[in-house]
Structure 1
Amino acid sequence: MIDEKPLEPLGPRGLVFMASGQGSQKPGMGADMLDVPEVATTFECASDVLGRDVAALVRDASPEELNDTRNAQIAISALSIGMGWALMARGVVPDALLGFSLGQISAMVLGDMLAEEAAFALIAERSRLMGEAADANPGVMSALLKMTLPEAEELCAACAEGEVLVPANLNGGGQIVIAGTPAAVARAEEAWAARKGRFSRLATSGGFHSPLMASAAEPFAAYLAGVDFRESAVPVIGNVQAAPLTADGARAELVAHLTSPVQFEASVQKLAAAGAQMFAEVGFGGVLANLVKRIDRAAPRAAIQDRASFDAFVAENGE
């Protein structure tokens, strides 16, 4: 349920960092950023917490290995967090933070709501629980193009046939991602194609942001009870309500996030109304920057995903 309250005006630069979500991963992503000190330190932190070489995962994993949610989540978050720290160290400081799904946790770290070590342990637990839920309740996700939310809701209701099938990512610009059982999603894709609609399967290993993740909610809530959250330094916009997160509300938001749709379009629209002047994606793939373009073609945006784009953005926006 979206919180309709408008955001407070952003700082004068109006810079929004967007942290990438799962599905953006690709072998070798960000490999040329690993020698940037802040990025290297973040990957070392992740490796220490998890007891494995996370940098090697980014450099060497096969597509199949990297697509496993237990690997994808940690690799994507380490890159987004490290790149965010590196930008801030060079004077590129955001006025607000917005993560997409997994990226919400990366945004919490960059907003100083959550310690980096605690975040990687949290992500490992989250990915483990989501992986177990996905194994127990197999699901897939598919992006349907040129579709409205009412159309998506009608399509899901018509094609579910008693199985799970729901809108999961409300991306804007006519793109809605559905999640559900493999058979139900296939029926929806077939029905949408019959209407001359286009779709694209996502590289995820489960039906995330849907009731298929419900079994992860209770153990995840129990885990979060022992995690410390602080008030954010700048607004961190949550995916469930498209509103700023608070230290007291962070746990409930993260649990609801498992089974609730990602309100990305509403979040971007509220940030734009609050004075956002640049939406800069930190991570890989440029997915979020492209979604911003779908929502508002005039909105300034950037995809910072490798050394060349990083250096160019610092040269233009750093101190």
Structure 2
Amino acid sequence: MFIQRLMCRACYNRTVLAKSKVRCKGSKSQLGNESPLKNLLNDASAFEEGQQREPALQWATQPYTARPGRATASEPRTEPQDTAVLLFPGQGSQRVGMGRLLADIPAARELYELASSVVGWDVWRVCTEGPAEELARRCQTAVVVTALAALERARELRPGVLERVRGAAGFSLGEFAALVFAGALPLERALRLLELRTAASRAAAAERAGGMLTLWLAADARLAPALAAARDHARRRGQPEPVAQVANYLYPNCKVVAGDEEALKWLELNGSSFGIRRCARVAAEGAFHTPLMRKAEDALREALANMEVRAPRVAVVSGTHARAYGGPRDVRARLAQHVARAVRWEQALHALYARPRGARFPLTLTLGPGAALRATLRQVNARAWDSSVHIDV
């Protein structure tokens, strides 16, 4: 199972670091009389050694075969409709009660237990019971763990689907889950990195009041002039070098902007004169994906410099660059940058689903809490949405 593989890898890493025995859970009834656990553990121990990829994944550098006529006997041609794409949710998708549909899935519960032992707080309780204030404070780790746990429900509902995955993407925070799934980040280190991201983002936000605002735009909206006017207002109110810019490109008539609090308040009051039909606050602790998070970016870059990283085994499209990650150096650079750079989700989806005219689409699974990812997909690519399923938790 995918989650058992993740857990065994994390357990192995803790054994090496702490030089103490760590028990990886898994009974014969779950794994069969000849348990594959030992093989998975051996594979995890070679995380940095660049061992041969599984044959079915060797060609998987993008969601579809680049040139359909070039398949060989060892690399069989795989049609898009026989493959799958995973989309992982981001911050703001959390809700108290998420994870309850996973309560009877042993591997999923074990993942929550392992995550709790790594981060030092009860991830399962916070996700399923709250309170809401604590979940909001710890949502980065909670959302990623829940999205990864949802993979086990996907495996039960859609047997064989995880073996057919050829592409993935994560909205903002969800990029961490996508990279863990793709084998680029080891689970335990990713969890620790998420805790660092939470603390660093909170520290950056404490230095300067900021937030995020979703805008629904009319066809003739003048967003650039509206943002410029909001910055001018904040400057007149004494804010030096004010920030108000697009933080998330969701779909053509919907953007998330972020920046200084004075600028956002002005947009809420005056946006209608610029063609902004409606606006709503995003539950976020600060102006993510703007220069106001630069100090958090610096902290992540330093942590990633000392972290074991691999090239993803499947194509993971970066939300900040709208193209697939490359090798370890590329993963380190882009994953650090994304906390202070705009998320081009609309463009990333176009890159993920690019295909020749008339080609069929893969099965897309949107994972974890909230249905926003699938709703956004419908606005960007209705044909891809037709072949999508939400795996709720």
Preserved CA contact (<8 Å) 1:171 1:291: yes
Identify the match of residue 374 of structure 2 among 279, 286, 289: 289
Query: Aligned pair in 2 of structure 1 residues 156, 35: CA closer, same or farther (>3 Å)?
Result: same
Gaps of 5+ in 2: 1-60, 66-77, 236-241
Q: Which has the higher contact order (CA 8 A, sep 6+)?
A: 1
Query: Aligned pair in 2 of structure 1 residues 91, 14: CA closer, same or farther (>3 Å)?
Result: closer
Preserved CA contact (<8 Å) 1:141 1:201: yes
Match of residue 257 from structure 2: 178
- Range 149-158 or range 248-257, more displaced: 149-158
Match of residue 34 from structure 1: 103
SS at match of 1:223: helix
Match of residue 9 from structure 1: 64
Match of residue 316 from structure 1: none
Match of residue 304 from structure 1: 391
Query: How do 1:307-318 residues align onto structure 2 when only pairs under 5 Å count?
Result: none
**Structure 1 residue 25: deviation in Å?**
0.8
Query: Aligned pair in 2 of structure 1 residues 255, 138: CA closer, same or farther (>3 Å)?
Result: same
Match of residue 135 from structure 2: 66
Preserved CA contact (<8 Å) 1:85 1:110: no
Q: Which structure's CA Rg is the greater one?
A: 2
Q: Find the aligned partners of 2:315 and 2:219 in 1 and give their Cα distance.
A: 28
Query: Aligned pair in 2 of structure 1 residues 37, 152: CA closer, same or farther (>3 Å)?
Result: farther
Q: Which amino acid aligns with 1:95?
A: R
Task: Work out the percentage of aligned pairs sharing the same amino acid.
Answer: 27
SS at match of 1:224: helix
List per-residue Cα deviations over 1:64-120 (Å, max 9, x = no partner).
Answer: 22222xx00011000111112443474212221100011000000111111111111
SS at match of 1:176: strand
Match of residue 193 from structure 2: 122
**Structure 1 residue 278: deviation in Å?**
3.0
Match of residue 134 from structure 1: 205
Query: How do 1:67-216 residues align onto structure 2 when only pairs under 5 Å count?
Result: 67-68=136-137, 71-88=138-155, 90-93=159-162, 94-146=165-217, 151-161=222-232, 162=235, 163-194=242-273, 195=275, 197-216=277-296
Query: Aligned pair in 2 of structure 1 residues 171, 122: CA closer, same or farther (>3 Å)?
Result: same
Query: Aligned pair in 2 of structure 1 residues 97, 199: CA closer, same or farther (>3 Å)?
Result: same
Query: Aligned pair in 2 of structure 1 residues 248, 200: CA closer, same or farther (>3 Å)?
Result: same
- Range 50-59 or range 147-156, more displaced: 147-156
Match of residue 240 from structure 1: 320
Query: How do 1:221-300 residues align onto structure 2 when only pairs under 5 Å count?
Result: 221-246=301-326, 247-274=328-355, 276-299=361-384, 300=386
List per-residue Cα deviations over 1:216-238 (Å, max 9, x = no partner).
Answer: 12222111111111111110111
Q: Which amino acid aligns with 1:288?
A: L
TM-score by length of 2: 0.72
Match of residue 113 from structure 2: 44
Query: Aligned pair in 2 of structure 1 residues 200, 270: CA closer, same or farther (>3 Å)?
Result: same
Query: Aligned pair in 2 of structure 1 residues 186, 305: CA closer, same or farther (>3 Å)?
Result: same
Q: Find the aligned partners of 1:118 and 1:85 in 2 and give their Cα distance.
A: 21
Q: Find the aligned partners of 1:233 and 1:150 in 2 and give their Cα distance.
A: 41
Matched pairs, number:
299
SS at match of 1:270: helix
TM-score by length of 1: 0.87
**Structure 1 residue 250: deviation in Å?**
0.9
List per-residue Cα deviations over 1:117-146 (Å, max 9, x = no partner).
Answer: 111111111111111111222211111113
RMSD: 2.1
Preserved CA contact (<8 Å) 1:7 1:270: no
4+ residue segments displaced more than 6 Å: none
Preserved CA contact (<8 Å) 1:152 1:176: no
SS at match of 2:292: helix
Q: Find the aligned partners of 2:185 and 2:218 in 1 and give their Cα distance.
A: 36
List per-residue Cα deviations over 1:166-212 (Å, max 9, x = no partner).
Answer: 10000113110000112211212222234461112111121100111
